[in-house]
Amino acid sequence: MYNSFINRELSWLKFNQRVLEESLCPTNPCFEKFRFVSIFSSNLDEFFMIRVGSLHDRSLLKDVPVDNKTGLSATQQLDNIFAAVKPLYIEYEKCFSVVSKELSDKGIEYCDMSCLDDNEKSEIKKIFKKDIFPLLSPQIIDPTHPFPHLENKKIYIVADLELKGKNCFGIIPLNNVIPRLFFLETEHNKIKYTLAEHILQHFIKQIFKGYKIKTSSIIRVTRNADIAVADTFSDEDVDYRDYMKEILKKREKLSPVRLEITKGGEKLSDYLLSKLSLSKSQCYTTSAPFDLSYISILEDKLSSEMKNSLLYKPLVPSWPEEINQNASVIKQVDKQDFLLIYPYDSMKPYLNMLSEAASDPNVVSIKITLYRLSSSSQVIQHLCDAAERGKDVTVLVELKARFDEANNIHWSKRLSDAGCRVIYGIEGYKVHSKITLITRQTSDGIKYTVHIGTGNYNEKTARVYTDVSILTSRNEIAEDAVKFFHNLTISNLNGYYKKLLVAPHSFKTKIISLIRAEADKARNGKKGIIKLKMNSITDKEIMLELIAASQAGVKINMIVRGICCLCPGIENITDNITIISIVGRYLEHSRIYVFGEKRSRKMYIASADFMTRNTSGRVEIATPVLDIEIADKLEQMLDLEFKDNVKAHKLLPDKSYIKIHADDNSEEINSQIELYNL
The 3-state DSSP class for residue 571 equals coil
**Catalytic residue positions, numbered:** 432
Domain final residue pick, 310, 344, 370: 310
301: number of Cβ within 10 Å: 12
Q: What is the pLDDT of residue 425?
A: 78
Same domain flag for 367 and 306: no
Same domain flag for 227 and 198: yes
Same domain flag for 54 and 86: yes
Q: pLDDT tens-digit profile of 486-545?
A: 999 999 999 999 999 999 999 999 999 999 999 999 999 999 999 999 999 999 999 999
Q: pLDDT tens-digit profile of 618-669?
A: 999 999 999 999 999 999 999 999 999 999 999 999 999 999 998 877 899 9
Same domain flag for 393 and 270: no
Q: What is the pLDDT of residue 92?
A: 98
> At residue 239, does pLDDT exceed 80?
no
Can you give the three-state secondary structure of 260-316, one letter per residue? EEECCCHHHHHHHHHHHCCCHHHEEEECCCCCCCCHHHHHHCCCHHHHHHHCCCCCC
> At residue 232, does pLDDT exceed 50?
no
Same domain flag for 138 and 263: yes
Distances in Å between the Cα of 150 and the Cα atoms of 154, 157, 259, 475 are 7, 11, 11, 56
Q: What is the pLDDT of residue 234?
A: 41
Domain tally for the chain?
3
**Per-residue confidence at 263, pLDDT binned at 50, 70, 90?**
confident
Q: pLDDT tens-digit profile of 602-611?
A: 999 999 999 9
- The answer to whether 216 and 158 are in contact (CB under 8 A) is yes
Domain final residue pick, 469, 492, 515: 492
CATH number at residue 188: 3.30.1840.10
Same domain flag for 273 and 377: no
Does residue 88 fall inside a structural domain?
yes
Of 537, 549, 560, the residue nearest 651 (C-alpha): 560
Spell out where 413-515 has E strands. Answer: 421-423, 430-431, 435-442, 445-453, 465-472, 501-503
CATH number at residue 647: 3.30.870.10
Single pTM value for the model: 0.92
31: number of Cβ within 10 Å: 22
Same domain flag for 481 and 606: no
Q: Cα–Cα distance between 442 and 357 in angstroms, integer?
A: 13
Q: What is the pLDDT of residue 228?
A: 55
Q: Cα–Cα distance between 356 and 224 in angstroms, integer?
A: 44
Q: How far is CA 396 from the centre of its chain?
A: 21
Does residue 376 fall inside a structural domain?
yes
Question: Which residues are within 8 A (CB) of 660 and not within 5 positions of it... i.e. 6 or more apart?
Answer: 580, 644, 645, 648, 649, 650
Does residue 320 fall inside a structural domain?
no
- The answer to whether 483 and 497 are in contact (CB under 8 A) is yes
Question: Structural domain of residue 626, as residue ranges?
Answer: 502-677
Q: pLDDT tens-digit profile of 4-38?
A: 999 999 999 999 999 999 999 999 999 999 999 99
Which amino acid, residue 667?
E
Same domain flag for 566 and 666: yes
Distances in Å between the Cα of 225 and the Cα atoms of 48, 67, 304, 365 are 9, 21, 39, 38
Does residue 619 fall inside a structural domain?
yes
Same domain flag for 416 and 534: no
Q: Cα–Cα distance between 205 and 417 in angstroms, integer?
A: 53
Does residue 186 fall inside a structural domain?
yes
> At residue 188, does pLDDT exceed 90?
no
Same domain flag for 261 and 360: no
Same domain flag for 387 and 428: yes
* Strand pairing category for 108-110 and 501-503: unpaired
Q: What is the pLDDT of residue 237?
A: 46
> At residue 321, does pLDDT exceed 50?
yes
Does residue 40 fall inside a structural domain?
yes
Does residue 98 fall inside a structural domain?
yes
Q: Cα–Cα distance between 564 and 553 in angstroms, integer?
A: 21
Q: What is the pLDDT of residue 225?
A: 86
Domain final residue pick, 471, 492, 513: 492
Q: Cα–Cα distance between 650 and 659 in angstroms, integer?
A: 6
Same domain flag for 467 and 448: yes
Q: Cα–Cα distance between 445 and 604 in angstroms, integer?
A: 29
Determine which of 51-60, 239-248, 458-467 has the lowest per-residue pLDDT on average: 239-248
Does residue 666 fall inside a structural domain?
yes
> At residue 250, does pLDDT exceed 80?
no
